[in-house]
Structure 1
Amino acid sequence: MAADPPIPGAGRDSAEVGDAFRRFADFVPLMMWRSDTEGRAVHHNECWLDFTGRSAEEEIGEGWRRGLHPDDFARHAEIVGAAFTARAPFVVEFRLRRHDGAYRWLMETGRPVAEGGEFHGYLGTCFDITDRKHAEEHIEQALAEKEALLAEVYHRVRNNLQVMVSLIGLYGRAAPEPCRGSFEALGQRVRAIALVQHHLHEAPHIASIDLRDYLHRLASGLGQLRRAGRIGVTVDGVGTSLVEPRTANALGMIVAEVVAECLDATSESVACSIAITIDATAGSPVRLRIVSAFGDAADAGRPDVPKLGPRLIAAYASQAEIAVRGTARPSDPLELQLPETRAGAGE
């Protein structure tokens, strides 16, 4: 590796920095400083002095530290002190008081100066990053507000769905016997909607949801929502895919409806199984294949519950521009093709 080019005045570590270095430093339109081997400042260029509004004599030694923001003093000293001990470069961000009394964020970069294998202190530069820091703060604040808004929306949706389930239950118990099955099925579907919203809310990245992980978590919850222990939902396939929230929501509702249809078509003693296969091969649209199996037990189902599954599934798919065909029976699997999104599919 080639040696660093010589720096004017590098061989001096006293308060008298060479004239060549002074001319060089003052010409640079960037705040610049030099220190001796003990870490004491021996020179600040004109750009630095213009920023602080102080004289070179006031800034010399440890004098410049009077301008450090009190909250940054200890952290700056720790980072720089460790670098000096190791004779290593360092980068640190801190606030320094400007000539008008305002504190500005600076990014400081320091490098050890050596000549002939002998250490001569440090050379450092600083530039103002206040606008960047303010932008970061605004982004953090906006993200915090967004998280708070999402949490509030989810809280309201969950509470409203709970109220709906209670009202449906009350009306169902007051309804004539032939109608109660429909009320019960409606209540179960509202619970499924709440479960879908819960898993969307719990997704690590709401803007792009891992389809396989999301369906695994949702399937586990749906399996316990009704007839616990007598329904199993499995998710298999190849590849991974990230989907948008509206696509994930529609898929969740479709899976929930397939589960509900299976349960509505069978008696309480019958075990149901739902198999979901994902094909997320790179370069092709993401496809899902869903098969619902419950043998020949359909005749023992609930005749008082209307069979609305195909219509509901078609409606959910249409909302998210999902192509759909099939009935989810083993002889006619439900096949879904997702729309192309920016998230796309990957290996």
Structure 2
Amino acid sequence: MGNYRKAHYRTRDGQRMSASQYKKRRKLEIYFHIASLVLILGLVTSGICFLVYKLKHKPVENTEVAQDAATTELTIVDTVVEDVEIEEENPYLKVSEDADSFFDGYNVDIDSDTAYISSEEVQSSYGVLVNLDTGKAVASKDGNVRINPASMTKILTILVAAEHIDSLDGTYTMTQEIGNYVFSKDCSAVGLKVGDVQTVKDMMYGTILPSGADAAMMLAEYVAGSQEAFVELMNEKLEELGLSDTAHFTNCIGIYDENHYCTLTDMAMILKAAEENDLCHEVLNARTYTTSPTSEHPEGITISNWFMRRIEDKDIHGEIMGAKTGFVNQSGCCGASYMISNDGTHYICVTADAWSSWRCIYDQVDIYQTYTS
């Protein structure tokens, strides 16, 4: 073993060390290792001594102060938190800009100051004109008579839907049951076929512009699961508006039912509430809209609000900003429209029992011309 270790030690010139050179080299290595060990032991000893010193000189807690603090009487301070208005999470509850000037509430009285619509040019059996800035009925012709609102019903349909949706991108598929119902009741429709998928936005516009019963029922089932459950929401909304004593709905389309009714002033206030909702205001104001692709129309179906398009070139002392028509045999041709006059006043006109859709438009034109400026 000694010869082996020695064989691995050489001088700087590469020569193998002699025995005396080897022994000298080994002594130096032993001294170095001993010195290193002593240094390490010294450091360890110093560290231990430092820790002992710190432990012996640890500060003693003042028990008297601690006891005094423990027995000191606690003072309770009442904190008053003021009510904080939380922003609506549903973006479709946003209020329209026009609503800033509307009167508060949904109660309109027809009194001695209300002019009677006596013009022979107005052939609708019923009519009312409401000033939305004052809440006064400007003119009336049996405006408090109960009627079947026909497809004007769909104004409330989109309002209730807007208050219960959280996205316009949600979709619903046209079903055979809806198709059968619309066909059996001879309702107006967008023209959707079984299996066609439409977005909530499509259904909103489809309910108003062409008065699509198919879109309205899809919307109702999307929101509430069934038309019956959706109608419950509609009647809850009527109660919220304070109209439930004179208004009650049994369907979301406007199909005739003796228990489906409201007055013209009720319908005016339903339209007011819809115009106060930013999304509904946008839908009611649209002239045309193109739906998502359908099985028969890959580019979508282009639909129109013909009342809006037919009345826009008439002199009514202002501009129609939203409208919805309706028809059932029992109520004739009906219409509810929202107008901003040339002087900035806001009005709603509702008429019922005209003998044609054009007659309904001309009657409203005459009412606006006569009672607004």
TM-score normalised over the length of structure 1? 0.23
Higher relative contact order (CA 8 A, sep 6+): 2
User: Structure 1 or 2: larger strand share?
Assistant: 1
TM-score normalised over the length of structure 2? 0.22
